[in-house]
């Protein structure tokens, strides 16, 4: 067992970020405690923020984005040929899509190889190359889809040179990072073109539709507006199967959006400095929380509690045959394989976890937290066990500080 799976007190608390990105703001809005626990450092995380779980779908999305930008580089090397022209299609035919995707998938897997929460071989086996190919074709195919507002190449000021002569620009290329110092905001934008009259903004998404994406694109529009003083001419979110055009915000809309963000940042920074980090436990948010094993409020609000002579069971049982389970002992035990049975008036629970605690650590444990366990019901009987999607975190005994959890 990796030392990562010991639940230890926070070693270094996070400071207010140098720049607030949309993802940082959005995470705080949903749950400040999740933000705080995610960006704290711990004795067993080797000086980095808390590692996240990674899925095959996430790797596929990263790989497709990387492949799109590689294709953009090829178009750039040919002087950005007109979309739909023979030169454009020649670049597309010469672009080895499958090999590029294989390479970008391997690069993404390389980035997560040291993540203790990831089994790279299993993730690799679940990545579907054909799905990546189809998503790429859908997104890049949209570059010449009806209804897309093309920008005349000679109108473009940035990020390209002023002496371009082709009629239309392709909608692929490298991401562009935009930073604003006051307020301290930052974003990596998939694509935008800046003209004399305004800008056109486009964001690629490989997942399902989300209201968060609309706010993310508006956040990017604010960054470009602050940087250039120009208003958007068009803002779109491109999914593999459709394009969503967003209503265009006015200057007053962007000013109001910015004022709200400034107020949020001021408030959040003050709370971080004071250490007043509240939790907002809710079923929708907590189900897939990356750090719920560290959050005391989550476990305190468990919906099933069984107390026996020398141990306590707390559970959150979900409708889809999954559960989060905490077992604590009155007296510390040595880690071992265990099967625990809990009996109450309502039901009997059997926790059958085939997981060894590494004896080399010589740690005694006060219990464990089993996240995303499999469950099976039969009348008044409930069985809980671990499968591939389950993680087991151990609560070590700290003597007098035995209740010293992260928060």
Asked if residue 371 and residue 286 are part of one domain, the reply reads yes
Please report the pLDDT score of residue 192 as a whole number.
81
Q: Within 10 A of 81 (CB to CB), how many other CB atoms are there?
A: 19
28 located within any domain? no
Do residues 7 and 291 make contact, with C-beta atoms less than 8 angstroms apart? no
Asked if residue 389 and residue 287 are part of one domain, the reply reads yes
Asked if residue 304 and residue 264 are part of one domain, the reply reads no
Examine the fold and report which residue of 227, 260, 278 is the final residue of a domain before the chain moves on.
Answer: 278
Q: Rounded CA gap, 46 and 48, in Å?
A: 6
Asked if residue 293 and residue 265 are part of one domain, the reply reads no
Asked if residue 272 and residue 288 are part of one domain, the reply reads no
7 located within any domain? no
Q: Is 399 left (phi over 0), alpha (psi -120 to 50) or beta?
A: left
Do residues 66 and 137 make contact, with C-beta atoms less than 8 angstroms apart? no
pLDDT in tens, 201-221: 888 888 788 889 999 999 999
Number of domains the chain is built from: 2
Instruction: List the helix and strand counts (H, then E) for the chain.
Output: 11, 15
Asked if residue 295 and residue 247 are part of one domain, the reply reads no
**DSSP for residue 362:** -
Please report the pLDDT score of residue 361 as a whole number.
46
Closest Cα to residue 233, out of 218, 211, 249, 219? 249
Low-confidence ranges of the chain (pLDDT < 70): 1-2, 83, 141-175, 283, 334-338, 354-363, 399-407
Asked if residue 305 and residue 201 are part of one domain, the reply reads no
Q: Tokens in use for 48?
A: 């980095």
309 located within any domain? yes
Angle at which helix 251-274 crosses helix 32-39, to 10 degrees, equals: 60
pLDDT in tens, 121-178: 999 999 999 999 998 888 776 443 333 334 444 444 444 333 333 233 444 445 678 8
Examine the fold and report which residue of 278, 295, 313 is the final residue of a domain before the chain moves on.
Answer: 278
Asked if residue 298 and residue 207 are part of one domain, the reply reads no
Task: Measure the CA dihedral 292/293/298/304, to 10°.
Answer: 130
93 located within any domain? no
Please report the pLDDT score of residue 1 as a whole number.
53
Asked if residue 302 and residue 202 are part of one domain, the reply reads no
48 located within any domain? no
Four-residue CA torsion sign, 162, 163, 166, 170: negative
Assign 364 to helix, strand or coil. strand
Do residues 40 and 406 make contact, with C-beta atoms less than 8 angstroms apart? yes
Q: Rounded CA gap, 101 and 139, in Å?
A: 14
Do residues 95 and 54 make contact, with C-beta atoms less than 8 angstroms apart? no
Examine the fold and report which residue of 234, 259, 278 is the final residue of a domain before the chain moves on.
Answer: 278
Domain hosting 187: range is 175-278
Asked if residue 363 and residue 342 are part of one domain, the reply reads yes
Q: Alpha helix (H) ranges present in 143-232?
A: 211-228
Closest Cα to residue 232, out of 192, 203, 204? 192
Bridge partners of 369?
326, 393
């Amino acid at each position: 067992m990796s030392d990562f799976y010991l639940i230890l007190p926070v070693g270094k608390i996070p400071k207010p970020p140098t720049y607030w990105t949309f993802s940082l703001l959005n995470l705080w809005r949903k749950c400040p405690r999740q933000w705080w626990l995610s960006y704290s450092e711990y004795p067993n995380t080797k000086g980095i923020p808390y590692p996240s779980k990674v899925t095959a779908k996430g790797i596929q999305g990263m790989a497709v984005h990387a492949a799109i930008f590689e294709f953009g580089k090829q178009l750039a090397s040919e002087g950005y040929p007109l979309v739909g022209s023979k030169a454009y299609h020649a670049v597309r035919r010469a672009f080895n899509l499958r090999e590029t995707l294989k390479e970008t998938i391997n690069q993404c897997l390389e980035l997560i190889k040291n993540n203790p929460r990831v089994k790279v071989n299993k993730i690799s086996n679940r990545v579907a190359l054909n799905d990546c190919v189809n998503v790429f074709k859908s997104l890049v195919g949209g570059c010449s889809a009806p209804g897309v507002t093309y920008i005349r190449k000679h109108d473009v000021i940035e990020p390209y040179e002023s002496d371009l002569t082709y009629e239309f620009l392709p909608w692929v290329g490298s991401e562009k990072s935009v930073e604003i110092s006051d307020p301290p905001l930052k974003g990596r934008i998939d694509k935008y073109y800046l003209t004399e009259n305004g800008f056109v903004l486009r964001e690629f998404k490989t997942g399902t539709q989300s209201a968060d994406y609309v706010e993310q694109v508006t956040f990017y529009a604010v960054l470009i507006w602050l940087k250039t003083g120009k208003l958007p001419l068009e803002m779109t979110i491109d999914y593999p199967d459709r394009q969503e055009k967003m209503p265009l915000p006015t200057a007053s809309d962007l000013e109001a959006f910015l004022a709200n963000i400034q107020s949020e940042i001021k408030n959040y920074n003050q709370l971080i400095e004071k250490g007043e980090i509240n939790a907002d436990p809710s079923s929708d948010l907590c189900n897939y929380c990356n750090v719920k094993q560290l959050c005391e409020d989550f476990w305190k609000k468990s919906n099933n509690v069984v107390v026996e002579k020398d141990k306590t069971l707390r559970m959150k049982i979900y409708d889809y045959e999954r559960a989060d389970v905490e077992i604590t002992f009155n007296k510390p035990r040595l880690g071992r394989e265990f099967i625990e049975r809990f009996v109450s008036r309502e039901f009997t629970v059997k926790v059958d976890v085939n997981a060894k605690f590494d004896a080399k650590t010589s740690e005694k444990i006060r219990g464990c937290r089993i996240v995303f366990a499999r469950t099976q019901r039969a009348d008044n009987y409930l069985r809980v066990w671990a499968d591939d999607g389950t993680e087991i975190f151990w609560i070590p005994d700290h003597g007098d500080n035995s209740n010293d959890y992260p928060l």
